[in-house]
Amino acid sequence: MGRELCLPYFSAHGLLLSSDLVLPELREVEQASDQELVSIGASDPKRWPGMEVSSHSTPALQLGPAEWRLELEGIGWFRALAGTGVEWARWDDSVSDRDLRTFLVTSGLGAVAIQRGRLALHGTALQRDGQAVLLLGRPATGKSTLAWCLLQQGWQLLSSELVVADGLGQIWPGMQQIKLWHDAAVALGIDWQELPAVRRGLKRYALLPQELPQGVACAQKPVTLRCIYQLVREREETPNPALTASKSFSQQAALLALRNQMFHARMVRGMGMEQELFLQAAQLARTVPVHRLRVADGIKAMAAAVTAADLLDPASLMEANDG
């Protein structure tokens, strides 16, 4: 797929992407750079050759050495090969570009990162004053909501949902949209009716980079990672909500937290990259502190707690019994 087709270029995770679909979740660039080129384009699954399937595969997800294939009924087919690109096919004409992009810019680019031997984590990264923090946590722990609250306090979004860290402990700009569930959008005073749904039938809405309100910005360059937080959602509201951090994890506990948040563990194992990426996670655990961060229950309480918290200074967030 060459530039002669006049396809737009996008930048994500330190890679230059040439795509036959417009990808508003990513930063568009006007010209080629010295970044490695990855192509995204339509293909015919019937022409895909047979593959050696790993035991980690499922009926919908096929994995093999340097190959990833995903079949989603009602959406389409996706394939990533040797870190060089992502191919896609629409299930039928009723499938929107947005439905396709939901998987192209997350699972598809995640597969490419893994195939290229890059440590991909499921989380959200933000930067302020040239330093980045990485928020990890299970679904519904509040990563996107906390990120939105931090953006209101002058932080810049580096990457959401899929975060790639390099060997120097830097986070590269990636997908720069925030996804909020309906209740979070309502509680934060966001007009959800003006936002597109992440995909059909899902009450979760996407704030794309170009749709973010005035004063909210996205980072354009890689930023050194200052610390990592594993989010824990408090389940009871408190009269004085606050963000509180634990002491930094031991190296073993930090490595376990990173391993559990790899994007996605089945894909890593199925494509034979577990050992290489485990070593990268171990290096990151040695060089960047990992803390547990307890976040207030209730979206308004979380927003209030953020105004008095400095996530670049974990010591200032520690409770008395952790200090």
Does residue 175 have a pLDDT over 80?
Answer: yes
Average pLDDT estimate for 117-136: 96
Same domain, 105 and 141: no
Same domain, 218 and 278: yes
pLDDT band at 131 (very low <50, low <70, confident <90, very high): very high
> How much of the chain exceeds pLDDT 70, in percent?
89
State residue 238's pLDDT score: 57
Domain boundary among 80, 115, 150: 115
State residue 75's pLDDT score: 95
Same domain, 204 and 216: yes
State residue 217's pLDDT score: 82
pLDDT band at 322 (very low <50, low <70, confident <90, very high): low
Residue numbers of the domain that contains 134: 119-317
State residue 41's pLDDT score: 96
Same domain, 203 and 190: yes
Instruction: Tell me the CATH number at 227.
Output: 3.40.50
Average pLDDT estimate for 6-31: 88
- Would 322 be classed as within a structural domain? no
Same domain, 300 and 168: yes
- Distance (Å, whole) CA 143 – CA 136: 7
Domain boundary among 81, 97, 115: 115
On whether the CB atoms of residues 163 and 123 are closer than 8 A, the answer is yes
- Would 323 be classed as within a structural domain? no
pLDDT band at 276 (very low <50, low <70, confident <90, very high): very high
Q: pTM for the complete prediction?
A: 0.89
Length of the chain counted residue by residue: 323
Tokens of 177: 């949209």
As for how many domains the chain has, the answer is 2
pLDDT in tens, 63-93: 999 999 999 999 999 999 999 999 999 999 9
Domain boundary among 83, 115, 147: 115
pLDDT in tens, 235-267: 655 555 678 999 999 999 999 999 999 998 999
State residue 2's pLDDT score: 41
Does residue 319 have a pLDDT over 80?
Answer: no
State residue 183's pLDDT score: 76
